[in-house]
Amino acid sequence: MTFKIMLVDDEPANLRLLERLFRRDHQVLSAGSGAEALRLLEQHDVALLVTDQRMPGMTGVELLKRAAEMRPHMVRIILTGYTDMEALVEAINCGQVYRYVTKPWKNEDLRLTVVRALQHYEVNRSRHEMEAANQRLSRRLQAMTRGVIRTIADSLEAKDRYVYGHSRRVSSYSLAIGRRMRLSVPLLEQLSLAALMHDVGKIGTPDSILLKPAALTDDERAVVRLHAERGARLLAEVPNMNEVAEAVRHHHEDFDGTGYPEGLAGERIPVASRVIRVADAYDAMTSPRPFRDALTHEAAVGELTRGAGTRFDPEVVRAFRRLEALAKIRGSIAQGDFGSHFLSVKQPPDLRTLPLEGLVREIEFEPSLAAAVLCAANAGRHAGETTASLYAACARLGVEALRDIIARATVSERVSYEAEVLRDHSRRCARAAMLLAERTGFLDPDEAYTAGLLHDLGEALLRSLFPEEAEKIIWLGHPFRVEKEIAAFGVDHAQIGQWILDACNVSPALAFAIQAHHDINHVSDPAPLLLHVADAVASANDSDEVASFETLTTDRLALLRLSRADLTRVHELTTRIVEERFDRVAA
């Protein structure tokens, strides 16, 4: 095989000798200086570089250092007739020189050295190509594995919407806990997957038990307990998922050995399982179920603390208690404050004389006011009695109650540019969601409007409570933004949005749409997909941008029975309606 080699020497006589020695068997490039050699290296893929050491302007060692950065797989030989050993030893120790040859050289010895150097190059190149191929194969395998995981998650969501949301939250809490415990990056990746999949075995649990709107019997609980082993067996069939499968198998083991399925205790329980045990228990306690009310954050943390050393690993509980941001978020929602400091309201001067229709117009344009009205209108009401329609909620409360809600809102004379951007986007999303609902029939148009108006309240709350941290994260694209939010706050803005709607006592289906509207490739429910489309339409600058949305694939649009022409029309109508509304308000 003919290789390309480069010869560098500032003495023309030496350069001609080297050329005659190698040009019969190899393609030879010659350079009379280090600078000329570097220019040639930019243009040619060279297998071997042979250079003199003592040259004006740039020594041979200096050339090899720079050449190693440009062509790391190229083999390098240096010729020296001087005792410049210090620089030479440094170059050898840094791996920049394969061999050095003293002047005057013997032609046969130099030819043999070059043959061995090229053999070394070929071995290195083959190893590098194999490593690159293995890396590509590994990436494909990882992508396939994650695809399988997501398919399983989709199946779980289709079976029980609560289990999907629960798994997503447990994954977020587990990752935040793991970071506080300073777990390694590979272990964090396994933990995140295992937490997302910890209830996957419930796919085999009968719907009559899984969806039962009451407490389970002892026999039914025994059936549910099978899900840990079933989930582990399912995941064990997926390549490179053995550690994840083990974490899933043992996520119900108690620290004192009284858990299931094997009664492991203490350090014998995988650390990922111990983390998931705490995250799972916290979410179960703080999530409302048909047969019991949810605990507050403080009450749930109290239960975790009391169970440390028996049910839970004390170290994991301590790490969870260090999630101060999560406590602040939960506390703010419990107090009915959904980001009022960031989304402060400018009260109308004629508040006390505005009729119902005028009050409704104020409320349906202000996300924080809309949420406060829904909370008041749905307070103490059971499922079937609540409403997500802003007009129905306003009519239920009456004029005086609405005036009081607006009067109690946080007032600010200074208009925040960032808050106005969020308000404008929320209004456009609300209108787009309403128009899409009218076209598709998948959501009640009034409820769709509410979902669009409130879909970013989680962001408003983060920016209200943690302005500096949120400002650094908010402009990142999905999914990087979600990852950073989970790392910083223990939860992402979409999940906070679901909690806010839960606090407003609207239907779980609408709250789920807020939570999952960024997960359109992993959720088959049309409500989150419709909200995602509305969000995208509201973010577009013009109709051409709408027509070229890459995330909205044809199959996703087909689920809503929409075409790209429909999206363009919705964008045009949304822009016109919102601008007309602004003109009326300004007048």
- For 520-547, the DSSP string reads TTT---HHHHHHHHHHHHHH-SSHHHHH
- The CATH class, in words, for 160-322 is mainly alpha
Collapse the DSSP code of 289 into the 3-class scheme (helix H, G, I; strand E, B; otherwise coil) and give the result. strand
Express each pLDDT in 394-423 by its tens digit.
999 999 999 999 888 866 656 678 888 999
- The CATH T-level fold of domain 351-586 is Hypothetical protein af1432 (1.10.3210)
Distance CA 476, CA 138 (A): 27
- The CATH T-level fold of domain 4-131 is Rossmann fold (3.40.50)
Global pTM value: 0.72
Distance CA 581, CA 579 (A): 5
Question: Which of the pair, 14 or 149, is modelled with greater confidence?
Answer: 14
Please name the residue that has the structure tokens 């394969």. 98
Distance CA 46, CA 42 (A): 10
Please name the residue that has the structure tokens 């148009």. 445
- Taking each helix axis as running N to C, give the angle between helix 526-539 and helix 564-586, from 0 to 180 degrees, rounded to the nearest 10: 60
> Among residues 497, 397, 506, 503, which one has the least CA distance to residue 446?
506
Q: Where are the alpha helices (DSSP H) in 160-270?
A: 161-180, 185-197, 207-210, 218-224, 227-236, 242-249
Q: Where are the alpha helices (DSSP H) in 455-563?
A: 457-465, 467-473, 480-489, 493-503, 508-516, 526-539, 543-547, 554-559
pLDDT at residue 461 above 80?
yes
Express each pLDDT in 67-100 by its tens digit.
888 888 889 888 887 656 665 666 666 556 888 8
Q: Do residues 560 and 554 lie in contact, with contact meaning Cβ atoms separated by under 8 Å?
A: no
Domain ranges in the chain are 4-131, 160-322, 351-586
> Among residues 265, 226, 266, which one has the least CA distance to residue 248?
226
Express each pLDDT in 130-163 by its tens digit.
777 777 766 766 666 666 666 676 666 666 666 7
Tell me how far CA of residue 342 lies from CA of 51, 422, 447, in angstroms: 65, 10, 24
**Residue 585 banded pLDDT, cuts 50, 70, 90:** very low
Distance CA 443, CA 436 (A): 9
Q: Say whether 160-322 and 4-131 share the same fold.
A: no
Express each pLDDT in 481-509 by its tens digit.
888 898 889 999 999 999 999 999 999 88
